[in-house]
A = this chain, B = another copy of it.
Amino acid sequence: MNIPRTSFPRIVIIGGGFAGISLAKKLSKQEVQVVLLDKHNYHTFQPLLYQVSTGGLEPDSIAYPIRKILKNYTNFHFRLAHVEEIKPLTNEVSTDIGTLKFDYLVIASGSETNYFGNSVIEKHSMAMKSIPQSLNLRSLILENFEEALLTSDLNERNALMNFVIVGAGPTGVELAGALAEIKKGILPKDYPDLDTRSVQINLIQSSDRILKEMSENASKKAEVFLENLGVNIWKNVRVTNYNGKTVTTNSDLTFETATLIWAAGVKGATIKGLDSEAFINRGNRIIVNEFSQIKGCNNIFAIGDVACMESEDFPNGFPMMAQPAIQQGQHLGNNLLRLIEQKPMTPFLYKDKGAMATIGRNKAVVDLKHFKFQGVFAWYVWMFVHLFFLIGFRNRVVVFINWVYNYIRFDREARLIIRPYKKNLKE
């Protein structure tokens, strides 16, 4: 990779998610050369992916060009690259566009869907971790309804109108809520030929409550909200397989469905070279110390979802969400500058800002440290926080207008099959 060496130390960051971007921002105007690598040319605001899948938002509104984030920084280089291997011994990363030497390396490659080794489920189910995946899911949902119109086989039609979501974390819950609102507000008008009352939304959770990372109150209230919207919640049920038609579980329960959405877990998106058992723990995350440093590597760090920094409050690492990633990125930025100046690094301290999830119109649950609340006010807080953290003024305005419009009109206009998922049209 032809990036000229300067007299400044070179910091290579893998990944332009929350962690990578917040680190890059900290390093601007400093005497370092920064190279950011990502396989996409944009940063994705993952918390709103479910709205892209359900036609509430346009994909471009929750993405932001990485080059634009970096454009006023000096000594910054972005490369669209897929990192294939890290070579800690020679301080190199290999990518699909060549090899790059580093002085410091920061792995911020995020997480990917965890199928827990079940390749059959992986093959037949839909995931929602990236914009293309979310658009695939959007296409599939809409294509299913178009197909349901065509069949006279009642079982087939029901399977096409049955949505099974595995995993009742924030993603699963928010998606279930959005689908339930579509069932109520949009489907009867869009498909007058179909009996859309038979649309089923099944949310399956292996443990005994939904949103299990949040407070008991949040779980209970979210459950009530979802049930009022007509979502079927199945707790203490573990999905064992899905062959594209039938979902089997650890009980007698089965589901006939054309759409299984797998939101049951994520794992660290580790990279060859630092993915051996010596480096990773449960959840496939790279073990790091309180300075985000990887075991045995003084100049290699991991932050965000891919990193597992154990602490007293979080013995299995911090939750895999935006806040720890942003905070670790900022903190590591300062530490890297200290390290370069040969000052001692400071340990990372996580400031838990809480968690939240929205269930639908006027309904959300919010857990702050000292204040937990649910309902309309929580919904406003949810919207405000999401707008605030979205990168880019234009994105904020466009998302806000879409929300206002969708709220007033009970509508989601982006229900477009831009790229068919099932059919392959030549164009």
Contacts and interface: CB of A to CB of B under 8 A. Distances in A.
Given A58-B60, A416-B60, A401 B402 contact: no
A416 B58 contact: no
A64 B413 contact: yes
A343 to B, nearest CB: 30
B130 A427 contact: yes
A190 B427 contact: no
Interface in A93-138: 96-98, 130-133, 135
Contacts of A397: 401, 405
A394 B56 CA distance: 12
Copies per assembly: 2
Contact of A418 (B79, B131, B143, B192): B131
A392 interface: yes
Nearest to A2: B152
Interface in A390-409: 392-395, 397-398, 401-402, 405
Contact of A413 (B65, B130, B425): B65
B150 A98 contact: yes
Interface residues of A, number: 61
A190 B65 contact: yes
A71 interface: yes
A193 to B, nearest CB: 6
Nearest to A400: B401
Contact of A40 (B58, B63, B417): B417
Interface of A: 1-3, 39-42, 58-61, 63-65, 67-68, 71-72, 77, 79-80, 82, 96-98, 130-133, 135, 142-143, 146, 149-150, 152, 189-193, 392-395, 397-398, 401-402, 405, 411, 413-419, 423, 425, 427
